[in-house]
Amino acid sequence: MIEKLSVQFPIKECCFALSVSRSGYYRWAADESSLRAKANTELVKQIKRLYAEHKGRYGSPRITAVLRQEGARCGENRVARLMRENKLAARRKRAFRPRTTLAGQAAAPNLIKDQAPSGPDQIWVSDITYVATTEGWLYLAVILDLFSRRVIGWKLADRLDASLVHQALQNALIVRQPKAGLYFHSDRGCQYSSRLVRKPLEVRFGNRAAPG
């Protein structure tokens, strides 16, 4: 196995070996440093321009690619270093999350806060979530029996409206036939506080089944 050795010689000896004066070497080094600094200053201006144009969403890989398309000669490591030195960090894109709750007007207070069901069909709870599919976001309304934790009704649709919850509720009522006095607990979204959902609950089970 051959290992590479890095040997450093004093500048004085190197200048002597190359027949170069030390003062000449230092002038050359200063000029090179000055040119590099000027080039970096200009590059930083271009980086800041692109960073602003793209509203802080571009990191060093994408900015380097754009700079090269514009004819600049630069490496990604150099761009990344200059961005760090100038505190130009790409903003992370926030993942899209569809809203499942829209504020409602007629929600009741939380009536099950200190209650625990002793049997089935005493407390039902419901919520809406979303599911990512190849066709886009779908909304899922689910109704659980709090005692058994079993799903007793659900509905999947591409629209977030009261009919989503209404259909899930109808499906639950087909599976179960709860008696009067059922608590139906949900969030305070407009889907649950709508008349389409509240009316059948109030008619069949009384005010305790109002969403809240």
HEC readout, 194-210: CHHHHHHHHHHHCHHHC
Domain membership of residue 98 (yes or no) is no
Looking at the structure, do residues 135 and 66 belong to the same domain, yes or no?
no
Sequence-distant (6+) residues with CB within 8 A of 194 are 104, 162, 165
Same domain, yes or no: 197 and 133: yes
Give the DSSP letter of residue 149: T
Give the CATH number for residue 145: 3.30.420.10
Q: For residue 189, give the DSSP letter.
A: B
Indicate whether 127 and 81 sit together in one domain. Answer: no
Q: Which residue has the tokens 């069901």?
A: 117
- Looking at the structure of the chain, the number of domains it has is 2
Supply the mean pLDDT for the chain: 79
Does residue 30 register a pLDDT over 90?
Answer: no
Task: Give the confidence band of 29 by pLDDT, cuts at 50, 70, 90.
Answer: low
**What's the domain range around 37?**
11-85
Higher-confidence position of 67 and 92: 67
Nearest to 111 by CA among 166, 182, 198: 182
Q: Among all chains, which residue has been given the structure tokens 């419901």?
A: 126
In a domain, 193, yes or no: yes
Condensed to tens digits (0 to 9), the pLDDT of residues 39-85 reads: 888 888 999 999 999 888 889 999 999 999 988 888 899 899 999 99
Q: Please report the pLDDT score of residue 151 as a whole number.
A: 94
Put residue 26 in one of left, alpha, beta given phi > 0 → left and psi -120 to 50 → alpha: alpha
Secondary structure of 94-105 as H, E, C letters? CCCCCCCCCECC
> Which residue has better confidence, 109 or 137?
137
Is the residue at 96 inside a domain? no
Both 136 and 185 in one domain: the answer is yes
SS3 state of residue 5: coil
Among residues 85, 103, 137, the one where a domain terminates is 85
Q: Return the pLDDT at 49.
A: 92
| 127 and 203 inside one domain | yes
92 found inside a domain: no
Same domain, 197 and 150: yes
- Lowest average pLDDT, out of 99-108, 109-118, 123-132, 154-163, goes to 99-108
172 in a structural domain: yes
Question: What percent of the chain clears pLDDT 70, i.e. is strictly above it?
Answer: 75
Return the exposure string of 8-25: e unless at least 16 CB atoms fall within 10 Å of the residue's CB, then b: eeeeeeebeeeeeeeeee
Indicate the pLDDT class of residue 1, thresholds 50, 70 and 90. Answer: very low
Q: Is residue 39 part of a domain?
A: yes
pLDDT of 102 strictly over 60: no
Does residue 145 carry a pLDDT above 90?
yes
Is residue 105 in a domain? no
